[in-house]
Amino acid sequence: MKLVLLVLAALALTAAAVILKPRRGNLGALDTPWPLERKPTLLTAPEQALLRRLEEALPNYRVLTQVQLLQTVRFRRRSRDWRILNRISQLSIDFLVVTPETAIVAAIELNDATHIDKQRRDADARKAHALKCAGIPLLVWSVREMPDVEAIRAAIAAASGGIDGCHHHHAGAGMVRQDRCGPQAD
């Protein structure tokens, strides 16, 4: 009998503790302030320096910054795959070069020391693969060796020549079209 009373007392104390515990409320509720603040700048100092060079080198293009990858690609008709979507949904591109009509010319990544981290390398690989599969040229430069204006112009000229993302190779007796994600029969 004493054991039953002891168990009931323990349950009562546990229930009281749960009921009386201070609640933090619904952290995502719209009627309470969220712990957010404005960033001082959108771009790091090296990104700002590269942006100025890009704008100087490419006066006939628009240079967009911090663009979500999903704004630059789409799934082919009837091929939406949620596993792929989940793997790329949080990725962004440092710079996106577009024509005045917003046709995509190239994506640009500026890598710093954080890109040696395994998780960051994995994200970079997923981003590069998605862009390659979509036929968007990706230029990757290091903070330590940023290109000058002429090198930027040359890289964009080379990238804009292959916007369709396909390479043609002779294979045996016929021509095989190979896009950047794998072979396809013509």
CB-count burial class (<10 Å; 0-12, 13-18, 19+) for 160: middle
User: Do 121 and 115 contact (CB within 8 A), yes or no?
Assistant: yes
Distance CA 12, CA 70 (A): 52
Quote the pLDDT of residue 80. Answer: 83
pLDDT tens track for 106-157:
999 999 877 778 888 999 999 999 999 999 999 999 999 999 999 999 999 9
* CA angle at 183 for the pair 177 and 186, rounded to the nearest 5°: 40
Q: Is 102 helix (H, G, I), strand (E, B) or coil?
A: coil
Distance CA 85, CA 70 (A): 8
pLDDT under 50 in the chain at which residues? 162-180, 183-186
Q: Is 81 helix (H, G, I), strand (E, B) or coil?
A: coil
Place of tokens 């060079």: 53
- CA 39, 47, 61, 141 dihedral sign is negative
